Structure 1
Amino acid sequence: MSTASSVVSAVASNRRTYSLFSSSSQTTTIKLDRVNFMVWESIVLPLIEGNRLEDHIDGTSRAPLKVISSEKGEKENPAWSEWFSVDRLLVGWLRNTMSQEIGAQLLHHKTAEDLWNGAKPLTCASTKARVMVIKSDLHNTRKNSLKMDEYLNKMKNLSDELTLAGSPIAMDDLILHTLNGLDADYNAIAVRLLDQPAITWVEVQAALLSFESQLTQKSHFANLSIQPSVNLAQRTTDNSDSVNHRGGRNNYRNSRGRGGRYRGGRRGGGGRPFCINCQRSGHTLATCYYRDESAAFNHSPPQAYYANSNSYSDWYMDSGANYHIIPHSGQFEEMIPTGKSHITTCTGEQRPILGIGTVTIPCKQSKFHLKDVLYVPSATKNLMSVNRLVQDNSVSVNFSNQRCDVKDPVTRRIIM
């Protein structure tokens, strides 16, 4: 299909100059197809009217007689020649704005008026049917298992398709359809957004994406049953060298008094202590690892390895815990409620988790950022998971007979 500029160069006898056909004229970015006639027309028609060529498509400019009589006999009518040149230029330009499919079906239309009148019914019939389908899709689309960004993109694309088909919907209607397609988990945010008298699509997207992020964190801890291995077991005497640890976990001395020297009853004649609580050998009920897992919730604090003057900021290091745990919501920089989540201690007790968030601990020369900290109001101590501390802050934790040091792994400088 010839471009407008190539057609112009082939017609040197044209008396008028039309910017529509000049090589510097902007080409349309939208090609006419079966569903976008209204948008295509809104772009093409102003360009035609700006060049005062609308009479070639609305039927007000008819072709003059091709041959006229003169004193020397019949000759070609100059008026027809000019009209024909302009009309053919317009036909070529219009075809250049059509998709290959539409252009192929309009090959037999020779004048600009015929081409214009043939394009409208050909595309509008399909457009009306397509509009009905899109509106139905917009009404029936549900988020279901889609990610929020995928769902929002799908709804916006349907709205854009309606616009291209010449049947745009109001932004309020798009927002309403979008909120109606959300799951029940989004009822709270949907009601809040609907109550706002003036809200944009961008604001709706931001609110829904943020809410999805909160739900994702909640669901991660929903029905959570954590065996936290809380190493806050029993009170012991500070600096006691008699403290031992079992099971290959926290094999450092005097970390926080877990266990103790094994004493008490023995089972049978095997010569090894036996615990009637967990039914395991090697220790007694008094020093049972599992009996005292819940001690983080009901004993007075043992010695802390990181403590400010305010006990509210005391933290108890635990190399076996999977999560940080704190009992005070005021310690969070930011926190998200977790609904019905809970942790289960090794004794079977369930402790509700009311939130999860981030906590920053200021030190002399730096700050520690604790992520995914659980808010457990029934706890009586701030429990710090050594594993999580190391992962999130790129530090090393060293336990010795008398102390616990947090160091920079590169410089070996003690940080806390």
Structure 2
Amino acid sequence: MLWGGIAGTVLAGANLHGYLDGTMAAPDKTIAVGTGDAATTAANPAYHHWWTQDQKVKGLLLTSMEEDIACQLISCETTQAVWTAVGAMYGAQSRANVRHIRRQLQTLRKEEMSAAEYMHKMKALADTMAVAGSPIRDDELIDHILTGLGSAYNSIAASLGVSNAPMPYSSFYSLVLSFEALQAQESASEGWTPSANAVTRSGPYG
């Protein structure tokens, strides 16, 4: 969930992430005052400080949400309760989205797209999975891309199979584009023949 990732990062940078996950636990509301028969209790200043800070963080979360979502969570008493409720609301949806994106990665084919356009689409799907909390490794993404590129790129797949060293996605991207450019040059060269060139040069006085 993009919103959760951004909110968590901002609060962590402000050293307030503990209010989200509960590690910044609430102190006791009261403290003992006096001893013996004169002992009594009083409001704990530390709890008051914690509560006011927690409510500020809760307010930051709620104001950063869509209004209809915030309305469903306004009754949560603490920041942690808001954070937990958001996770429960979107956990199942995120898992469903991840499964859908994974299916797209497995089934998308290059077809009439250029290699660059096809790989941009695949990389965007992989980035979306990472934002949803399910990143995939470069080698897994490369395998999906090779499947969708088709038999014309089998030589690349073969060369990668021979090498045991993992290839970063950026290097693979450059390799595929270079291969596509070489294919285009070879196709252009094969379309030229001496006889065709002679016909082109010949005119009424050839």
Give the TM-score taking structure 1 as reference length. 0.40
Q: How far off is 1:128 after superposition?
A: 0.5
Q: What is the distance in 1 between the residues matched to 2:81 and 2:131?
A: 24
2:132 is the counterpart of 1:165:
yes
Q: 1:109: Cα distance to partner?
A: 2.6
Any stretches of 5+ residues in structure 1 without a counterpart?
A: 1-29, 66-75, 233-244, 250-288, 290-416
How far residue 55 of structure 1 moved from its aligned partner, in angstroms, is 5.5
Larger Rg: 1
The residue type paired with residue 195 of structure 1 is: V
Cα distance between partner residues in 1 of 2:55 and 2:140:
44
Aligned to 2:26: 61
Tell me if 1:141 matches 2:119. Answer: no
The 3 A distance-change label for structure 1 pair 205 and 55 is closer
Residue number among 170, 174, 187 corresponding to 2:141 in the alignment:
174
Change in 2 beyond 3 A, CA 1:91/1:209: same
Matched residue, 1:237: none
Amino acid at match of 2:176: L
1:101-135, Cα deviation, whole Å (9 max, x unpaired): 64354333342122111111112111111111111
- The counterpart of 1:94, out of the listed 37, 40, 61, is 61
Paired residue type of 2:107: N
Query: Contact (CA 8 Å) 1:87, 1:111: kept in 2 or not?
Result: yes
CA distance in 2, matches of 1:172, 1:47: 32
Structure 1 Cα separation of the partners of residues 179 and 93 of structure 2: 39
Deviations 1:55-84 (A, max 9, x none): 67528427837xxxxxxxxxx946354343
Q: Which residue of 2 aligns with 1:116?
A: 83
Matched position secondary structure for 2:198 = coil
1:220: how far off? Answer: 3.5
1:218 has 2:182 as partner: no
CA distance in structure 1 between the aligned counterparts of 2:111 and 2:149, rounded to whole angstroms: 7
Distance in 1 separating the partners of 2:72 and 2:188? 56
Cα 1:162–1:132, aligned 2, differ >3 Å: closer, same or farther?
same
How far apart are the structure 2 equivalents of 1:31 and 1:159?
Answer: 14
Aligned pair partner of 1:205 in 160, 173, 180: 173
SS at match of 1:229: helix
1:131 alignment partner in structure 2: 98
Task: Give the superposition deviation at 1:229.
Answer: 2.5
Match of 1:202, as an amino acid?
A: S
* Distance (whole Å) between structure 2 residues aligned to residue 212 and residue 246 of structure 1: 36
Match of 2:154 in 1: 187
DSSP-derived class of the 2:153 partner = helix
Contact residue 31 and residue 97 of structure 1 kept, 8 A: no
Q: 1:236-251, aligned counterparts within 5 Å?
A: 247=204
Within the candidate set 196, 199, 206, 1:227 is matched to 196
Kindly tell me: are residues 165 and 246 of structure 1, through their superposed partners in 2, closer, same or farther at Cα, counting changes over 3 Å? closer
- Deviations 1:1-40 (Å, cap 9, x if unpaired)? xxxxxxxxxxxxxxxxxxxxxxxxxxxxx951xxxx4x45
Identity %: 26
The answer for the alignment partner of 1:292 in structure 2 is: none
1:27-42 to 2 correspondence within 5 Å?
32=3, 37=4, 39-40=5-6
Q: Distance in 1 between matches of 2:81 and 2:108?
A: 40
* Distance 1:176-1:101 versus aligned 2 partners, 3 A rule: farther
Q: Structure 1 31/164 Cα, relative in aligned 2: closer, same or farther at 3 Å? A: closer
C-alpha contact 2:2 2:131 (8 A) present in aligned 1? no
Distance 1:162 1:246 in 2: 61
Compute the displacement of 1:139 (Å): 1.1
Shift of the alpha carbon at 1:140? 1.1
2:21 and 2:171 map into 1 onto residues whose CA distance is 44
- The CA deviation at 1:171 is 1.1
TM-score (norm 2): 0.75
Going by fraction, where is strand more abundant, 1 or 2?
Answer: 1
How do 1:217-296 and structure 2 match up within 5 A?
217-222=185-190, 227-229=196-198, 247=204, 289=206
Which ranges in structure 2 are unaligned for 5 or more consecutive residues? Answer: 31-41
1:138 counterpart letter in structure 2: L
